[in-house]
Structure 1
Amino acid sequence: MDSRPNTTLRGSAVGLFLFDICEEIRLEELGSILGARRLGEGLKHAAAEQLFFERPPVVEEVQFLGEAQARVRVKYYDYGVLSVLFEFPFAGEWGDLITLSSRWISGTDLPSRAEEIAKEKIARARPALVKPYGSWLSEDYFIFFMREIAGNPNAPQLLSSCGQQISQVVRGENAILSDDERREVLQSAMSYYPNDLAVLGWNAAFVYDSAAGSETTMQLLEYANSQLLEFRHYDELMTRELARVYDTVGQRSSMINRWRLPREASRLQTVLLDVTELTERADNAIKFLSDMFSARLYRLAASKVGVPDYKSLTQEKLRTAEDLYRFLIDEFHQSRTFWLEAMVVLILLIELAYVFHGKM
């Protein structure tokens, strides 16, 4: 596409695919296995403010057969998420971008190709994986970066003149959207400088910015989606554990079942501690140092993709699990107290029997 000299839009189209592959990735060991670099420096915004990864992920560039101009990058996060990024150069008109967005969002072969790359990489990286999962949860997100737009409009001009096209790109719709839907999409617009713009949706984003600013935005969107993936995993894990405990509690009460309660409580407590530790690790993986715009952009991205919703669900189930843990322990203590008291009574009865027998 880059061969077209007079086009309205120039930039790139990015497909981002994330997989939850294991509980933890030992990044130091992984870097040695792959010979790959780590994202060790802060991601600088154009305003020279910074954000830092607590444990910088390992980054690896990959060859994409058949697409000489495509950039393919694999990234490994310490909390068990692997991401595969495809970036293709784009040059064309608004109609071309809308068509591309609609085609990618409605269905493309990129997810299957990303999974193939992920499986190939994991086969080599397996020694660095802690508790690999048999099946993977996945997320995808599409970002359309425009670095040049004809006329060099500022953000207000771009929203005013091309708001309809931007909203169609973010929604992946070929059809014209209603005024209400267009306003809903454009409510998520953010700018730092007059000549940059980010409009975020739940599965796609339109970004008009420099290369440096675009890179920061992409890192934040990727991090938000990796968090979504982790909280989805924790939500499913807690759902399974709670269902198992409910089954145990719902079984017919018996002495044997009651004496199994400490084991169930111990297992539940272990899960609680593991999930709490892992959520804190995923939650605190990135630090914002005086970069309030990046912090606000991240909060918007997280809200759009659904991180707060799944985080709330996970926290609610953690509270439920804590209540169940206390209930199991209380039930066991009550059962133990009953049987201890019964044994004391039995011993007294036996002693009384011996006393009366002796008198007779």
Structure 2
Amino acid sequence: MAHKITAFIIAEATRAKKGKEAPAAPPTKSAPHYFEKSVPSQFIIGSEKIVLDGKKVELTVKSYHPDAILVEGSLEVEDVFDSGILELKDKLHDICYEFSKKNGAREEPAEEYTVYQISGYKGDPELFLKNYGSKMAGLLKSEKLELDEKEVEHTLSYQMKYAQNDLVIVDWDGAFVFDTDGEYGETIELLELANYQLLRYRILDEDLDERLKKSEKLTQAETGRWFRTKEVATAFKEIIKIRSQSIAQFEALDRDIKLIGDWYSARLYDLLSRKFRIDDWRKSIRDKLDSLEDVYSIVSENLGVSRMQVLELIQIGAFFILQIGWFALIILEFWYFTR
């Protein structure tokens, strides 16, 4: 029986190197023939082998072009249920963070994830749940405290069986993958993809918070000002730009991944989406886009009002000029006839 740990970090980068396109992990389970075209591609920037606590670590630096760096570190261990595994996992994550920064990634926002892999066993992997359920839940939550029975049950409930002797259990910060043949590549790629998608939603959500603050400032008209048409028009253009950028980014998030159906890849991604609450992130972003729409309407209305005010002032001014002209004409006529 073989035990392995894979830790990875996905972090935002100002401009990620593209590198060479990574070959897709050979599908060992069902996947649509268009799988590679239905998800964002990974690009390999480089790889390196290091030693951590006497164990060989394979590090691979990848990117999701153009805005994310992915660093993946893998090592074999004697027993993933050993008492020192969490400390080893933390050290592995620290190394991944270090390499991500060297390759232009920011410290935040970022997603970190750990995959505990077991292969070469005999029988149904659900036996591990009976014997090590509490430890597995603790590892998934990076928690050393002994968890309550209900918490253990809840943590292990997000699971998926596809073949007779395989099992995947996912949580927010980690996953357990059981595969008798040790074919983990496809599953790890999907785990990385789901974390990348979560990171993109987080980034857009935070960006929208900043854009809303900026938009609200643009709508705050200065008091005591009569001629604000140019000022409001400039704000209106800025709101249009902010709104269009946000809508385009949101639509790109939904468009980039098309995993629908009963395929293994689609079912696992759906499980991860539910665990990561992707629909909640979508709703939060939609609500903020609606708020941007409200700001857009307010500025549009203010621009119309400002223009109407200017036209009214022009009309009033023209009327007074006309009245002054008539008054001057009357005075001239009076002077002409009385001289």
Instruction: Tell me the residue number matched to 1:103.
Output: 87
Instruction: Tell me the residue number matched to 1:199.
Output: 169
- C-alpha displacement at 1:187, in angstroms? 1.3
Change (3 A) 1:258 1:212: farther
Residues 1:230 and 2:200 aligned together: yes
Instruction: Tell me the residue number matched to 2:334.
Output: none
Q: Which has the higher contact order (CA 8 A, sep 6+)?
A: 1
The structure with more radius of gyration? 2
- C-alpha displacement at 1:13, in angstroms? 0.4
Instruction: Check whether the contact 2:60–2:72 (CA below 8 A) recurs between aligned residues.
Output: yes
Structure 2 residue aligned with 1:314, among 271, 285, 293? 285
Q: Taking structure 1 as the reference length, what is the TM-score of the superposition?
A: 0.80
Q: How many residues get paired?
A: 326
- Aligned positions of 1:106-121 closer than 5 A: 108-121=90-103
- Aligned positions of 1:182-197 closer than 5 A: 182-197=152-167
- C-alpha displacement at 1:83, in angstroms? 0.6
Q: More displaced, 286-295 or 211-220? A: 286-295
CA distance in 2, matches of 1:256, 1:87: 64
Instruction: Check whether the contact 1:43–1:52 (CA below 8 A) recurs between aligned residues.
Output: no
Instruction: Tell me the residue number matched to 1:18.
Output: 10
CA distance in 2, matches of 1:343, 1:358: 22
Instruction: Tell me the residue number matched to 1:277.
Output: 248
Structure 2 residue aligned with 1:85, among 50, 72, 75? 72
Instruction: Check whether the contact 1:192–1:293 (CA below 8 A) recurs between aligned residues.
Output: yes
Q: For 2:56, what is the secondary structure of its paired residue?
A: coil
Paired AA for residue 331 in structure 1: N
CA distance in 2, matches of 1:211, 1:315: 43
- Aligned positions of 1:280-359 closer than 5 A: 280-288=251-259, 292-359=263-330
Q: Deviations over 1:264-290 (max 9, x none)?
A: 222222222223323333433334375
Q: Deviations over 1:76-118 (max 9, x none)?
A: 1124111100111122263x1x641x3367xx24444323322
- C-alpha displacement at 1:120, in angstroms? 3.0
- C-alpha displacement at 1:230, in angstroms? 1.3
Paired AA for residue 117 in structure 1: F
- Aligned positions of 1:94-243 closer than 5 A: 94=81, 96=82, 99-100=84-85, 102-103=86-87, 108-122=90-104, 136-149=108-121, 152-210=122-180, 213-243=183-213
Identity, % of aligned pairs?
20
- C-alpha displacement at 1:231, in angstroms? 1.5
Change (3 A) 1:174 1:167: same
Q: Which structure 1 segments of 5+ residues have no match? A: 1-8, 123-132
- C-alpha displacement at 1:43, in angstroms? 5.0
Instruction: Check whether the contact 2:3–2:80 (CA below 8 A) recurs between aligned residues.
Output: no
Change (3 A) 1:104 1:58: same
- C-alpha displacement at 1:41, in angstroms? 4.1
CA distance in 1, matches of 2:170, 2:46: 26
Paired AA for residue 113 in structure 1: I
Instruction: Check whether the contact 1:17–1:114 (CA below 8 A) recurs between aligned residues.
Output: yes
Paired AA for residue 115 in structure 2: I
- C-alpha displacement at 1:329, in angstroms? 1.2
Instruction: Tell me the residue number matched to 1:264.
Output: 235
Q: For 2:61, what is the secondary structure of its paired residue?
A: strand
Paired AA for residue 325 in structure 2: Y
Q: Taking structure 2 as the reference length, what is the TM-score of the superposition?
A: 0.85
> Stretches of 4+ moved more than 6 A in 1?
none
CA distance in 2, matches of 1:93, 1:218: 17
Q: Which structure 2 segments of 5+ residues have no match? A: 332-339
Residues 1:47 and 2:30 aligned together: yes
